[in-house]
Each structure stands twice: as C-alpha cells, then as structure tokens.
Structure 1
C-alpha cells in the first residue's frame, strides 16, 4: 500500500471515530426529553435512538455532498498529500473539541466543530482562496438560522397544545403524551441520522477525491454503511452528562413539553436534510426546548444555563478553526 492510501486509511479511521463520538455526544439530542419524563427507560431510549439513527443515516446523501465540496473544493486540491493533510487536521481538531465539550457536559455542536475545523485547516493550507465563499456562507447561514426557526416552531407547537388541552386532567395528559413521546423520540433519532451521519460520509468522500481514488462526489455504498454503523454504535454508548443538561437543566420538562420539543426540532432537521444543508442537531433541539419552555412559562426557563450553551455555540467555529489550523501546521511537518 502506497503512502497516499495509508493517509486515506487514517482518514477513514478518524472519520468513523468522529462519527462514533458524534453518536454518543449527540445521543442526548434524541432521547433527553423522553428519558427525563420517563416516557422511555434509558436502555430502551438508547436502543431506539441507535436503530433509528442507523436507518436515517442510510437514506440520504445531500448533506454529505454539501460538506464534502461546498467548503473546501476537493477538485481544486492538486497535491494529494496536502488535501489529505487538511482532512486529517480537520478531523483531529473536531474530535478534540467534541471530547472536551462532552467531558464538561456542554451540548456544543459537532456540526459547527467539523465545519469550523475544515475551514480553518483549509485556510491554513491554501490561504483564504482555498475556501469556497458562496458554499461556506450558505452552510453558515443554515447553521445560524436553524436554531431560531426551531425556537419559533417549538414555541408555536407548545402554545397551540397548551390552548387545546388547557382544561385537561394533568394525569391523563401526561399519560397520553408519554406514549406520543416514543414516536417523536423515534422521529428525532431518525432525523438526527439523516443529517449528522452524512457529515462523516462527506469528509471521507472528500478524501477519496483528493487522493484521486474517485473523480466525483458520489458517496460509495461502503462509506454509507460504515458511517451509519459508527453513528449507531456511538449512540448505543450514550452521553449521560449531556442528557442531564438537555433534559433537566434548561427547564423542568413534562411529557407534553418533550413531545412538542421533539416534534418541532425533528421537523426542522429533516427539512434541512431535504435541502442538503448541514445543521447543528444540538442547537436545533436545544432551541426547540427553549421555545417550548418559553411558551409554557417564560420564567420557568433557566436562562443562565441557556446563556452558557449559547456562548459555546458562538465560540465553537472560531475556536475550532484556530485549533484545526494549528493541527495542520504540526501535521504538515511530518506528512508533507
């Protein structure tokens, strides 16, 4: 096996590692509300999330193509070693950031980490001309706008349900919506798989094009299956620190709130997938929970915790971009 193929193998291992970490880092996205309201036991919730993540990951490729060619254009990477070093630096920086935020129980965005890292490594290697400004702008717009849309949709769904069931028995209401939460948790996990697993697929395919192994951005079947399995396996491990933050520290979630938050956020994520835009499932789901909490009772939301989460959102892209640039400079000493 020649040097270029060894680098490709390293990238595949790192990308699947990122997908695995993304799975346990973002398990909370799909199951935090259903676990916190006891609609599902933690074990059943994780199994459901793993299975539905796997199904969702195998069904779409639009987001993968966006990640693979809309930030750093793989067809302009004339030196294979340089292109592959960019990808390795990207994955190293994103994995480091994910592990740091997981350790501290902060629901930061794996998507922001990956996009920011790819941009940072690309600029470090090629200068500002190495980034596709139109593609990068469209991706960042999607990342920024989607949480606001999710907040609004979560607020509206909760407001409507609050009016409809204003005179309902709290006991009967909780019982009914616990059942509904099983369906929305499944929908949530499915939508997560359709968007998040695509990002690793895009990175691997970018590497294959940079290495001249293939000449287009069509996602190979083995890449789809490997990324989907890595995401599902990571999901099965679970991320309990983040589950606690998402499910208990923003506001006290009841079954009707969890149902509303899951339905709103899953709809936004699936809509983004259908348009080929990568979004932060963490941001979308957290924003939907905030919207639902605001509709329930504005003062019930723990805005201090929400502010801490938002601060992490703001700093992720610039922080990971710098980290990825540093990784590229270090790796270039050994790989180029």
Structure 2
C-alpha cells in the first residue's frame, strides 16, 4: 500500500468527507423526528380503531364506532400536544422542571386524573349546547358528533402547528354547535349557553391575569424589595405555600374528585382552609432549613419556590385530566351510546375503554408534540422564574374556584395563559414605575430613546396578538369546519 494515501492532503479530504457525512446524519435525524412522531401518532389512532373493532365485534354499527374511535384518538393526541402545555409551561420556563421531567409528571397525573376522577356523567350533546330533540333520528346525531370530533381535533392541530395554545373544550363546543346547526338549523342551539361561553373568553384570562399579577405584586413588595430578603422569605413563603396548598385542596375537592364523592363548595372551602393551615405550619421549619446559608439576593429566593411549583404542576395536570379529558372524548362516548342503544336524549356515562383512549392519547400527544407549546407558554410569551410561575399556577387554581362559586364557565387554557400575560404586563408596569422614580437621578441626555423602551417590553406582542386571535376564532372556526364536515359525511353516508 502506498504511503501517499496517508499524505496530509488526503487526510484533510477524508476529514472533510467524514464531516459532511456527520452533518448529513444530523440533518437526517433532525428531519426524521417529525416523521417519527407522526408515525407513532398514526399507530395509536389505528390501535384505538382496532380496540373498538374488537369490543364491538361484528355488530351492524361497528364501522361507525371504529371510525369514531379513530377520531377520538386523534383528538386526544391533540389535547396532549396543546392543552397540557398550559400546566407544564410555567414550571419548565422557570427551570423548576426539565422538559423530560415535566412530560413524565404530566403523563402520570393527566392519566391518573382521567382514569380515577374523570368520566363524570355528561349530557347528551356537550352540556346542553344543542337541544337533543332537535336532532331527529340517531343517525343524524351520530354524524353530527363525528363531525364535531374531527373538526375540533383538526382545529387544535392547526393551532398547535402555528404555536397558539387554545381551549380544547371551546373547540369541542364550536364543533358541536356547527354540526348541530348544519343538522337542525340555528334554532337548535342554546344561545344562552353559548353567550356564557363567549363571556368566558374575556372573564377567564382577565381574572387569571389579575390574580397572578396581584400575587406577584405581593411577593415583590413583601420579599423581593425588602432589604433582608431571606428574613422576609422565612416569614412569607410558608404563608404563600399554605395559600397554594389550600387553594389546590379546594380546587381538587370541587373539580377533581366529583366522580368519587360529591363535595359542596362550602365544604370544599373548609377542606382548603384546614389544608392550608396544616401546610403553613409544616412549611415554617422547612423554609427555615432551606434558607440557611442563602445569600441575600433574588437568585437565592428561587430555591424556596421550586418544590411548590413542581407540586402545583402535578396537581393542575390531575385536575385537567379529570375534567377536560371527559369534555374532549364526550362526543365519542355519545356516538358509542347512540350507536349501541339508539338513545341520545338521556345523560350517559363515558365507558372505561373510551377514557383509556383519552388518557393514552394525551400521554402520546404530550410526549411526541407537546414541547413546542410548553416552550411557548413557558419561555416565549414572557420570561418566567419560580416566583412568577408560582403566581401563574396559584391564579389557575383560585380562578377556577371563583368561577365555580359564581357559576361561570371558564377555560383552564385561557386562565393559565392569562396568568402568564398578567405576570408579564405587571413586570412591564413595575419596571416603568421604577424607571420613572429613578429618572431624576439620570443625567439629562442619557434617557432611553422611545425605540429602546419599546424593544425592552417584557411581553412579546407578536405572541400576544397571535394567541388572542386564536382564542377569538376558535369557536366560529371549529363550527364552520364541523358544519362542512357534517355536510360531507352526511352526503357520503346518506344519513338523514
């Protein structure tokens, strides 16, 4: 063998070729990731359809249920990709949880919430949005629910693709409304119910934002801006964690365990008060021990909010699994009920196999497609740290409690994202206030230019406008899509 093959020029060429191969491998792996996710998602949809086929055997309505199960699995994947980000985003954005840790916690607690406390009895057509008697035959009802299920899933899929966290419950509501109108006309819709849902578009984010901003103001005033931050933290962090524990105890009593036991609001508030007092007393020595040796600066305070933030993310996931999963797979359960019994005018329960499809679909959707929206909520709207993320999580629990007490329909998505906006806009206001106070000490001619002040805004306006626009058009967009799908399915199947 000639030694010329090992000359420096040949080795340099070999290095370049190996570098190209390495770059090609990395590029191939990067491009193939979405394909792997799509492949696994498709396999899960097929699996759900096969489960339905095995359960229903050779019954005359098996094909309809199999198709509906596939649509339900697709919807569950999209819930995992979009909705769950609202619970995990703040904790990840604050670096209290890694992306892998957040996904693992969410998978466990979302599934537990769906299977243990989910599946509460729902009304025949998405909580009274459409009058059941207006649908006529069960065939038209089944077609409407299939259209609603597919349309809502497609809309959430599109929202996830553009990076907008939207309400899956509102998507289902829009889908049911659109299919109902296509099947039975505008008179079939309960417009009073739709008005209350429309009001929640405004109430949910505003209430969540105000509560989150209020707690951040309290933390800054009583801890962050104090000269001895550690002493202030020892006094107030146990109180804050106790408030969070009490709020979540009340929240879970009202919303999370209603399938197991029915608890009235007054009793739930007493449970929350007792839990809050116990947690406050327990946290006093814990925070004292955690704060020993910490430097008197803001960065040290983050340690004290880490564990409460992780616990809050887990509890929010459990409550979300218990409530929103049932809303999303409700149309599938309605199809199963109508297809097997012909009855669609009475309340029905959600079969366990349907809840399992919902729970597994959320887990797969979160694992495969969830990180994009988790980053959006956690990092890209405004910068979060554990204290700000704590305020977002606490506002989500308190807002749901207040809304339940007032009888208002609210969206957990809108509350959580509204809390992030509230924290961000409060930071902008607080920074502007402090800058005005310090302006007297700035030499003339050294003030910030207007363009620089705009650049330093702490909430990204582009994300803000995209998300608000997606919220506003979710119900009408899902309704139009559902009406179109209903017309197509009705034409293909010849349903009347």
Calculate the TM-score normalised by the size of structure 2: 0.62
Residues of 2 paired with 1:294 and 1:62: CA distance? 37
Report the CA distance shift for 1:242/1:255 in structure 2 as closer, same or farther (over 3 A).
same
Report the CA distance shift for 1:118/1:220 in structure 2 as closer, same or farther (over 3 A).
closer
What does 1:141-180 align with in structure 2 at a 5 Å threshold?
A: 141-166=199-224, 167=226, 168=229, 169-180=297-308
Deviation at 1:226, TM superposition (A): 3.6
Query: Are 1:135 and 2:193 an aligned pair?
Result: yes
Residue 300 of structure 1: aligned partner: 458
Deviation at 1:71, TM superposition (A): 1.0
Residue 195 of structure 1: aligned partner: 323
Residue 33 of structure 2: aligned partner: none
Q: 2:98 aligns with which of 18, 41, 57?
A: 41
The one-character-per-residue Cα deviations of 1:259-301 (angstroms, maximum 9, x if unpaired) are 1111212333466578887643322211011112222333422
Residue 370 of structure 2: aligned partner: 239
Residue 444 of structure 2: aligned partner: none
Residue 108 of structure 2: aligned partner: 51
Report the CA distance shift for 1:106/1:72 in structure 2 as closer, same or farther (over 3 A).
same
- Where 1:54 maps in the other structure, the secondary structure is helix
Q: Is the 8 A contact 1:116 1:316 kept in 2?
A: yes
Q: 1:23 aligns with which of 80, 93, 109?
A: 80
Residue 383 of structure 2: aligned partner: 252
Residues of 2 paired with 1:143 and 1:60: CA distance? 24
Structure 1, unpaired ranges of 5+: none
Q: Is the 8 A contact 2:146 2:335 kept in 1?
A: no
- Where 2:126 maps in the other structure, the secondary structure is helix
Deviation at 1:209, TM superposition (A): 4.3
RMSD, aligned α-carbons: 2.6
What does 1:67-146 align with in structure 2 at a 5 Å threshold?
A: 68-74=126-132, 76-146=134-204
Answer with 1 or 2: which has the greater Rg.
2
Residue 413 of structure 2: aligned partner: 282
Structure 2, unpaired ranges of 5+: 1-57, 230-296, 430-456
The one-character-per-residue Cα deviations of 1:11-64 (angstroms, maximum 9, x if unpaired) are 233123202221122232111121122111111111111111122223145684
Q: Is the 8 A contact 2:201 2:410 kept in 1?
A: yes
Report the CA distance shift for 1:226/1:268 in structure 2 as closer, same or farther (over 3 A).
farther
- Where 2:83 maps in the other structure, the secondary structure is helix
Residues of 1 paired with 2:145 and 2:85: CA distance? 27
Report the CA distance shift for 1:66/1:82 in structure 2 as closer, same or farther (over 3 A).
closer
Residues of 2 paired with 1:284 and 1:206: CA distance? 28
Q: Is the 8 A contact 1:209 1:217 kept in 2?
A: no
Calculate the TM-score normalised by the size of structure 1: 0.89
The one-character-per-residue Cα deviations of 1:127-177 (angstroms, maximum 9, x if unpaired) are 012222333333333344222211121111211122221222212211112
Residues of 2 paired with 1:274 and 1:193: CA distance? 21
Residues of 2 paired with 1:143 and 1:63: CA distance? 25
Report the CA distance shift for 1:151/1:67 in structure 2 as closer, same or farther (over 3 A).
farther
Q: Is the 8 A contact 1:28 1:239 kept in 2?
A: yes
Residues of 2 paired with 1:316 and 1:295: CA distance? 27
Q: Is the 8 A contact 1:116 1:321 kept in 2?
A: yes
Residues of 2 paired with 1:66 and 1:170: CA distance? 52
Q: Which moved more, 1:163-172 or 1:215-224?
A: 215-224
Deviation at 1:334, TM superposition (A): 0.8
Q: Is the 8 A contact 1:63 1:278 kept in 2?
A: no
Q: Is the 8 A contact 1:46 1:238 kept in 2?
A: no
Q: Is the 8 A contact 1:63 1:202 kept in 2?
A: no
Q: Which moved more, 1:275-284 or 1:197-206?
A: 275-284
Deviation at 1:180, TM superposition (A): 2.2
Q: Which moved more, 1:132-141 or 1:285-294?
A: 132-141
Deviation at 1:217, TM superposition (A): 1.8
Q: 2:490 aligns with which of 327, 332, 336?
A: 332
Deviation at 1:313, TM superposition (A): 0.9
The one-character-per-residue Cα deviations of 1:234-282 (angstroms, maximum 9, x if unpaired) are 3333422212221222111111001111121233346657888764332
- Where 1:211 maps in the other structure, the secondary structure is helix
How many residue pairs are counted as aligned between the two chains?
336
